[in-house]
Amino acid sequence: MRIATWNVNSITSRLPRLLAWLESTGTDVLCVQETKCSEDQFPFEELRGLGYEAAVNATGRWNGVALISKAGLEDVVSGLPGGPEYEGALEPRAVSATCGPVRVWSVYVPNGREVDHAHYAYKLRWLEALRAAVAEDAAGGRPFAVLGDFNVAPTDEDVWDPAVFEGATHVTPAERAALAALREEGLSDVMPRPLKYDHPYTFWDYRMLGFPKNKGMRIDLVYGNAPFAKAVTDSYVDREERKGKAASDHAPVVVDLSV
């Protein structure tokens, strides 16, 4: 079984590449972030043509997440149970479902903007709500994983130059502690350590030749429970999909499972 996560940065803009990628990789389940569309604008029909169904939590031009599956979609939960509001609204940042033998979440963690910004405090509350929401599934005997854009680099090795990020979001002790608390619920980062190659970043800014210069960050993560991690046979970042015209600023992260 092949499961992946990809922040597409607008599913409308990325649709031709998305459809081609799904067809060429044979991915069974794709967790999508930043759909940047409403649910009635989501390309259900185009995906159905390739044998996929979708569960979508999206309300408009910002945020939005989805689960695209040809392994089934059961027990769908739209949103983050117990999640906090931001400026009076519950943002569309989480969707979960059972896809065949695996339970998965697609999450788009708030960016945080700046350390002294209200969005940063919201980010930490959101991560705590995520920890509480996944605890039961993480402790269960069924393969389970939380996949998505976490907007946190777990270690200094996961950014191209730690000095550049000093004092900024994505690398603060509080954000990394929130990820550690999530892992303490029985989840682990399924990217192999030691890594197969240096600096498997997942995000490169469009500006200042970020991708050609490999000035990236690893913020798109797959956190699986013990049954999920045990079933992993391979995991990698598909850097090729970050190349060329009309690419997202994120690359897909792919995990193969023997389930």
pLDDT digits (tens, 9 = 90+) for 144-178: 999 999 999 999 999 999 999 999 999 999 999 99
Please tell me the pTM assigned to this model: 0.97
Which residues, at least 6 apart from 44, have a Cβ–Cβ distance to it below 8 Å? 53, 54
The amino acid present at 257, given as its one-letter code, is L
Strand, coil or helix: 221: strand
Q: What is the pLDDT of residue 238?
A: 94
Query: Per mean pLDDT, which range of 25-34, 61-70, 184-193, 223-232 is the poorest?
Result: 184-193
Which pLDDT band holds residue 102 (cuts at 50, 70, 90)?
Answer: very high
Which residues, at least 6 apart from 140, have a Cβ–Cβ distance to it below 8 Å? 103, 225
* Percentage of residues in the chain having pLDDT higher than 90: 94
The tokens for 246 are: 């009309």
The amino acid present at 51, given as its one-letter code, is G
Phi-psi region of 192 (alpha: psi -120 to 50; beta: other; left: phi over 0): beta
* Stretch 39-43: mean pLDDT: 97
> How many CB atoms sit inside 10 A of residue 60's CB?
13
Q: What is the pLDDT of residue 191?
A: 85
> Average pLDDT of the chain?
95
pLDDT digits (tens, 9 = 90+) for 177-214: 999 999 999 999 998 655 555 668 999 999 989 999 99
Kindly tell me the sign of the dihedral angle through the C-alpha atoms of 206, 207, 210, 215.
negative
* Stretch 128-140: mean pLDDT: 97
Answer whether residue 61 shows pLDDT above 90. Answer: no
Give the neighbor-by-neighbor strand order of the sheet with 232-237: 53-57, 65-69, 29-33, 2-7, 253-257, 232-237
User: What is the number of domains present in the chain?
Assistant: 1
Domain that holds residue 137: 2-257
- Domain of 26, CATH number, reads 3.60.10.10
Q: What is the pLDDT of residue 188?
A: 96
